[in-house]
């Protein structure tokens, strides 16, 4: 059963850099998204690379609601999440295993917005994304993820 699609993919190569949009990325089990700082460990505190922070996802619908209800517009890359989805309730995937393109992920915890995210974007982002800030996931099986790929059980 399809639950949604990938609308955008972003990686950050090093701490402090802006996210870069890519059409596809290799998800590496136990590490993260190839060339993303959480996979390479660049600027990451010991013990924080890979694992539950291997990939982060956010709903395109959450970004649209942020603009509609809070008059705050940010693009998918500005959300600082790796994968922007459409048509899937990410909050429901905590504790669930699911397929994204060729990769298999497990939702670990909600990715609540923080003051740091708001400092990199605009006032109101934190309040507008509470409980809709996305999902942290671990990568269980490696595979390529592409824009347009399905998210399924």
Read off the CATH number of the domain in which 9 is found.
Answer: 2.40.33.20
Beta carbons of 24 and 35 less than 8 angstroms apart: no
Domain of residue 96 covers: 2-152
Please tell me which of 9-13, 23-27, 53-57, 128-132 the model is most confident about, judged by mean pLDDT: 23-27
Cα–Cα distances in angstroms (integers) from residue 38 to residues 9, 56, 59, 129, in the given order: 15, 10, 20, 22
Give the chain's domain count.
1
The residue among 77 and 2 whose pLDDT is bigger is 77
Query: What is the average pLDDT across 53-73?
Result: 91
Structure confidence at residue 44 (pLDDT) = 58
User: Alpha-carbon Rg of the chain, whole angstroms?
Assistant: 14
pTM over 0.95: no
- Using DSSP's 3-state secondary structure scheme, residue 113 falls into coil
Task: Identify how many contiguous H helices and E strands the chain contains and give both numbers.
Answer: 4, 11
């Amino acid at each position: 059963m399809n639950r949604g699609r990938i609308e955008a993919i972003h990686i950050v190569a090093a701490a402090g850099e802006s996210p870069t949009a890519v059409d596809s990325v290799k998800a590496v089990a136990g590490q993260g998204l190839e060339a993303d700082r959480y996979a390479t460990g660049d600027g990451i505190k010991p013990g924080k690379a890979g694992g539950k922070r291997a990939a982060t996802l956010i709903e395109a619908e959450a970004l649209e609601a942020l603009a509609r209800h809070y008059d705050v517009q940010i693009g998918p890359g500005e959300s600082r999440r790796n994968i922007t989805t459409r048509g899937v309730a990410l909050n429901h995937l905590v504790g669930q295993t699911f397929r994204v393109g060729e990769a298999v992920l497990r939702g670990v915890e909600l990715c609540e917005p923080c003051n740091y995210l708001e400092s990199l974007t605009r006032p109101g982002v934190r309040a507008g994304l509470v409980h809709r800030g996305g999902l942290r996931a671990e990568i269980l099986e490696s595979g390529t993820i592409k824009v347009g790929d399905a998210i399924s059980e």
